[in-house]
Amino acid sequence: MKLIRRLFGQQAPETPSSLPSTESPEAAEDSALLKETQPLSQSAQPVVQTRRLTPPKSYSSTNRRVRVGAASDIGGRGNNEDAALTLITNTEVTGNPPPVGIFMVADGMGGHQNGEFASSITVRTVAQAIIREVIMPQLEERDMNSADQKTIPEVLAEAMSAANTAVQLEVPGGGTTATCAVIRADLAYVAHVGDSRAYLITDGNLELITRDHLLVRRLQELGQLTAQEADAHPQRNVLYRAIGQSDTLEVDAATRRLPPSSRLLLCSDGLWGVIGDKRINEIVAKYPDPQEACDQLVAAANDDNGPDNITVVLVQMPD
């Protein structure tokens, strides 16, 4: 325990995670979040680092609807402990509110039903909070820029903390990763715990948005392991942060602008840990339909005899 405290008591540099600037109505709602966030605790406000978003780009398509694909497979396991959720709200009403989407992947752990229940509870709890605190206020025509309205990163942090409490109460001994993205207009707000991942794919370039909360990754950040040593380490799959494993929870937060034709991909380690980033990018580039791309990604992991459950969600922005 002393070793763990020594390793994780000091802060390693966070992967930068940009937050919105105020140049449009949808960005104005986040005027308090002009900078990047480091992990959000249950009670703390965001700790910010300066990094502004890229300027917005115009969409040429008259159909501004987001497309999405999702796939989950048992892979090499006896049961599927992963969970996923996709939900998009498009409204054609006076005021033209922007579309809002919720996308989430969770990878349960704790053995058989414990893992299944932990991931399922987490997905349901987080989605309910986002619907209540983000989607319903917009449908009820509340002022999304009012001081009383929580920002989306705040909602996500609180939702993850609620899921952490729910898993501890309902699934003692269970736990789960969780990577959730809320897309409003052209901004993606990401909250993350564990080693599931979120990627942004723009102009053929794949960017890892999230940071793996793995013991070996932390040791690499501290300069105590090389990448090769980490890949062969006997504890390479051990997480030091997960939902349901502690009374307190730190949640990583990131925001990205989604330019035209960009893609946001969420997946469990049963995908990225088997086929790697290069093949993920190649398959997504080859299949323009997001559902077909998801099916092909899962098939590729199974063809490589992936030992774990495989789950992927792919969001395609309009042109």
Start-to-end CA distance of the chain, whole Å, equals 51
Half-sphere exposure of 16 (CA within 13 A, CB side): 9
Rg of the Cα atoms in the chain: 19
Amino acid at 35: K
How long is the chain?
Answer: 319
CA dihedral 200, 201, 207, 209 (to 10 degrees): 10
Query: What gap in Å lies between CA 89 and CA 100, rounded to an integer?
Result: 5
Which residue's entry shows tokens 């893992």? Answer: 115
Structure confidence at residue 232 (pLDDT): 78
Structure confidence at residue 264 (pLDDT): 98
Which residue's entry shows tokens 């791309």? Answer: 293
Is the CA virtual torsion 193, 114, 84, 199 positive or negative?
A: positive
Which domains are delineated in the chain? 14-316 (3.60.40.10)
List per-residue pLDDT tens for the chain, 319 residues long. Answer: 333 433 444 343 333 333 233 334 344 433 333 333 344 444 433 333 335 788 888 776 656 689 999 999 999 999 999 999 999 998 877 777 889 999 999 999 977 579 999 999 999 999 999 999 999 999 998 888 888 899 999 999 999 999 999 999 999 989 999 999 999 999 999 999 999 999 999 999 999 999 999 988 788 888 888 887 777 777 777 899 999 999 999 999 999 999 999 999 999 999 999 999 999 999 999 999 999 999 999 999 999 999 999 999 999 999 9
The answer to whether the beta carbons of residues 51 and 16 sit under 8 Å apart is yes
Query: What gap in Å lies between CA 162 and CA 176, rounded to an integer?
Result: 13
Structure confidence at residue 226 (pLDDT): 83
Nearest 5 degrees, angle CA 152-CA 214-CA 297? 75
CA dihedral 96, 198, 102, 95 (to 10 degrees): -10
Look at residues 45, 44, 89, 83 and name the one whose alpha carbon lies nearest to residue 66.
Answer: 89
Query: What gap in Å lies between CA 199 and CA 263, rounded to an integer?
Result: 8
CB atoms within 10 A of CB 121: 23
Q: E strand or H helix at 273, and its extent?
A: helix 269-286
Query: What gap in Å lies between CA 250 and CA 40, rounded to an integer?
Result: 5
In sequence order, the β-bridge partners of residue 119 are none
DSSP SS3 for 112: helix
DSSP SS3 for 207: strand
